[in-house]
Amino acid sequence: MAKFDSPLGVKPIQGQSQREFVIPDESGFSGPPPQIRPPRETSAPVFDQQAMQEFNARMAATTIQAAPQSVPSEIEMQFAEAKRLKREGKERLSEGARRRIEILVGMTRLTRDFEIDGKLYKLKTLTSKELEEAMSASSEFDGTVRFIFEARKQVLARSLVVVAGLDLSQFLSSTNIEDRIYFLDEMDHELLVRIYSEYNIMAQELQDKYAIKTEADVKEVLEDLKK
């Protein structure tokens, strides 16, 4: 009989028949052979010419719809600008109207060509607006020594057209008044005095041209005012 023996005592254990298990050796077992599936029968897809054309047509339409709008042309931009100015009450003069005004203004404006050291210089008379701008820019120095210098520069900056045979705007690559004034500041003082003297001669010629000299001139002006 089986027993349990320990320092605490001995306890008999009723015996039970032992069962035996047999475990086969599977070290050499490879299992059933894998199942081999027959290959699928493949065939080339049927080409549908009409379906392909319809697909291409849909793709082309999609591309056109997705394409960004073209940049507006210069004419369209000018038209849009003209509409904006009209809405704001700031319509520009037409080219014809502008040209007629230039012709009328040109009838009362003189130019004077003269030479210094064999080089051509050219002056033009000023409009009322240009003369007002020149005097306004000089007014802050009124009552000071600088006034006469500033007034001379402001006038010539607007009147001087050609210097030593060169167009002044092209020579400076600018039509900005400040650039012209800077150029005159760097000019020799005696040369500047000579150019301003020529301007005064031109201004006097213009005054003499439109001045009322005789009684007949007075009557002519009065008749014009009545019209």
Classify strands 2-6 and 9-13 as parallel, antiparallel or unpaired: antiparallel
- Percent over 70 (pLDDT), the chain: 48
pLDDT digits (tens, 9 = 90+) for 20-75: 555 555 555 555 555 555 555 555 455 566 766 776 676 665 554 544 455 556 66
Give yes or no for residue 157 having a pLDDT over 60. yes
Alpha-carbon gap, residue 49 to 159, rounded angstroms: 78
Task: Tell me the torsion sign for CA atoms 25, 27, 33, 35.
Answer: positive
Domains in the chain: boundaries: 109-213
CA 183 centroid distance within chain? 29
**Selection from 178, 197, 52, 13 nearest residue 116 by Cα:** 197
Task: Tell me the torsion sign for CA atoms 205, 207, 210, 213.
Answer: negative
Tell me, what DSSP letter sits at residue 187?
S
In this prediction the pTM is 0.50
Alpha-carbon gap, residue 80 to 30, rounded angstroms: 88
Q: What is the mean pLDDT of residues 184-204?
A: 94
Which helix or strand (DSSP H or E) is residue 226 part of?
helix 215-226
Tell me, what DSSP letter sits at residue 23?
-
